């Protein structure tokens, strides 16, 4: 009886293993690794990605990039992730009565045929608890997640704050509580 049970189980495992390899659907492992590839979000392109390290360790850094949507239905960026950073939040800089401040944004609308820039003085990604393993001159990866769950990733060069015109954020009001 044991021999028959073992033979039946072995046959079932081989059949299931064979079925898993002949299907057109990717395996779970392939799906997980494919989630961060640009092909997962048709028509969406990330470019010009830069991670700006904090001027003082323990302070926030920033990430900038350009997002283009060439085709497809309008989407929203629902979140951002930067490798080597504990927490990333999308923010916008606003100026009211001559005073600039930053505030979190829940999502960022993308329109077909349009480009959206995350840049100093506008939309950007604030980076909190930046790992000391991120060093100027190296690269890391930025991944955005869209409202439909698709993701797009791009390598980002890592710079110091002086890497582009000394954009100092220390005088800005960081209003983190309103989202």
pLDDT digits (tens, 9 = 90+) for 55-75: 998 999 999 999 999 888 899
How far is Cα of residue 46 from the mean position of the Cα atoms in its chain?
10
6 and 88 share one domain: no
8 and 48 share one domain: no
Closest CA to 64 of 173, 163, 131: 163
179 lies in a domain? Answer: no
Q: Which three-class secondary structure state does DSSP give residue 12? A: helix
Confidence of residue 104 (pLDDT cuts 50, 70, 90): very high
143 and 163 share one domain: yes
77 and 136 share one domain: yes
Prediction pTM value: 0.69
Place of tokens 């080597």: 84
72 and 111 share one domain: yes
- Tens digit of pLDDT for each residue in 123-160? 999 999 999 999 999 999 999 999 999 999 999 999 99
19 and 79 share one domain: no
Cα separation, 12 vs 5, whole angstroms: 11
Domain residues for the domain of 100 are 37-174
Strands 151-159 and 44-52: parallel
């Amino acid at each position: 009886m044991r021999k028959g049970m073992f033979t039946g189980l072995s046959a079932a495992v081989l059949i299931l293993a064979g079925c898993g390899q002949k299907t057109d659907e990717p395996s779970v492992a392939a799906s997980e690794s494919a989630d961060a590839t640009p092909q997962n979000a048709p028509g969406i392109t990330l470019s010009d990605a830069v991670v700006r390290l904090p001027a003082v360790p323990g302070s926030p850094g920033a990430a900038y990039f350009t997002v283009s949507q060439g085709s497809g239905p309008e989407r929203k960026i629902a979140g951002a992730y930067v490798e080597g950073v504990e927490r990333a939040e999308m923010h916008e800089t606003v100026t009211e009565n001559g005073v600039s401040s930053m505030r979190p944004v829940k999502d960022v609308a993308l329109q077909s045929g349009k480009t959206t820039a995350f840049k100093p003085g506008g939309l950007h990604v604030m980076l909190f608890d930046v790992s000391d393993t991120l060093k100027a001159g190296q690269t890391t990866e930025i991944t955005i997640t869209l409202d439909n769950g698709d993701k797009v990733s791009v390598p980002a060069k890592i710079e110091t704050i002086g890497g582009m015109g000394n954009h100092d954020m220390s005088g800005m009001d960081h209003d983190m509580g309103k989202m």
